[in-house]
Structure 1
Amino acid sequence: MRILIVGGSGTVGKAAAAELGRRHDIIRAGRSSGDLTVDVMSEASVKAMYAKLGKVDAVVTTVGHVHFGPVATMTPEQFRKGLDDKLMGQVNIVLLGMDHVNDNGSFTLTSGILDRDPVRQGANAAAVNGAIGAFVRGAAIEMPRGIRINAVSPGLLEDSAAKYDGFFPGHEPVSNARVGLAYAKSVDGALTGQVICVG
């Protein structure tokens, strides 16, 4: 299969690419690196990426930033960061990419553990992750041409544990290999409308 991974140079993207790349042709896209460049928050940029890409069998998105901070001092502008970036960025990839995915292909989005196992200062991430899961479940029942859509919801990756030190007390990091397998389950399997949890 020919698979686009948006965010393929990030920690989660590398985990997905390592597993899927065993069997498939991987094209990476990112804001500043990869085979193609794209700003997922810009409709024009997403359209331009797809125009260069052509047809693919699957699209995986592992991108998006959220705001970490106390709810008591969070501003609406800070909260919108996650909505505009991680949520709408990935939704843009789906809505604008439908015609570029072959029949019976798939989209796999990325959410995260915080909507089911919250931590302090993670309310924005929890809300965004929950919205991604809801979008996947709702979109799955009306995707055209047999296209499937799922999300992978990883816990704290081993390679990210140092970066988020102190934010995830008591969370056991998950291996990159396990996260990669979740993307393979979505892309190579038959599931649709599912949130595949890892950790």
Structure 2
Amino acid sequence: MRIIVVGAEGDIGKAACKELGSRHEIIRAGRSSGDVRVDMADRASVEAMYAKCGAVDAVISTAGNVHFARLGEYTEETFMLGLRHKVMGQVNLVLAGLAIVSEGGSFTLTSGVLDREPIRMGVAGAAANGAVGGFVLGAAIEMPRGLRLNAVSPGLLDVSVPRYGRWFPGHEPVSSKRVGLAYARSVEGAMTGKVIIVE
């Protein structure tokens, strides 16, 4: 398969690429690195990415910014960051790719632990994760041409602990290997409309 991985240079993206890269052709995409550049929040940029890559069999998104702040410190703009990037960015990948991804292919998005295990200052992330899960559930029943749509929802990765561990008190890290396997299950398996929880 030819697989686009958006956010390939992040910890989650690297886990997905490591698991799938030995069996498939990986096209790495990102805002500032990779084989092709893309800004998911800009539909035109997403369409340009697809035009450059040509036919693909699967798309994985492991990208999406959110703003972390205390509840009372959010503005509409800072809260919207996560909705624009993590939610609409991933929605853009699906909508723009419906006619591009090969028949029977798949999209795998990324949510995360915060909508089921909240942390202080993480409300925007929780809201974005819940929205991604809702989109997957609702859109999967309308996907054309046998296309499948899932999301992976990992906890804090083991490799991410040095940078983000202090934000997640009491959370047991999940192995990058298991996170990579979750993406393989979505891409290489038969499921659709599922949020694959890795914890």
User: In the aligned structure 2, how far is the partner of 1:54 from the partner of 1:82?
Assistant: 29
Show the 5 A alignment for 1:47-196. 47-196=47-196
RMSD: 0.7
CA distance in 2, matches of 1:161, 1:198: 16
- Report Cα offsets for 1:93-142 as digits up to 9, x if no partner: 11111111000000000000000111111110000000000000000000
Structure 1's unaligned 5+ residue stretches are none
Residue number in structure 1 paired with 2:37: 37
TM-score (norm 1): 0.98
- Secondary structure at the aligned position of 1:8 is classed as coil
Cα distance in structure 2, aligned partners of 1:30 and 1:134: 24
Q: CA deviation at 1:165?
A: 3.0
Instruction: Please name the residue that 1:15 is paired with.
Output: 15
Looking at structure 2, the residues matched to 116 and 22 of structure 1 have their Cα atoms a distance apart, in angstroms, of 33
Aligned-partner Cα distance in 2 for 1:178–1:165: 18
CA distance in 1, matches of 2:189, 2:41: 29
AA in 2 matched with 1:39: D
Compute the displacement of 1:19 (Å).
Answer: 0.3
Counterpart Cα distance in 2 of 1:163 and 1:91: 28
Q: SS of 1:58's equivalent? A: strand
* Cα distance in structure 1, aligned partners of 2:158 and 2:108: 21
> Secondary structure at the residue paired with 2:17?
helix
> Secondary structure at the residue paired with 1:106?
strand
Displacement, 1:41?
1.1
Corresponding residue pairs, total: 199
- 1:76 Cα deviation (Å)? 1.2
Give distance in 2, aligned partners of 1:88 and 1:184: 24
Report Cα offsets for 1:12-57 as digits up to 9, x if no partner.
Answer: 1000000011211111111111111111111111111111111111
Q: Point out the more displaced range, 161-170 or 149-158.
A: 161-170
- Opposite residue 50 of structure 2, the aligned amino acid is Y
Q: Deviations over 1:52-83 (max 9, x none)?
A: 11111100000011111110221111100100
Matched position secondary structure for 1:34: coil
1:112 and 1:190 map into 2 onto residues whose CA distance is: 22
Amino acid at match of 2:111: S
Aligned equivalent of 2:3: 3
Structure 1 residue 187, shift from structure 2 partner: 0.3
Return the TM-score normalized by structure 2: 0.98
Q: Distance in 2 between matches of 1:150 and 1:173?
A: 22
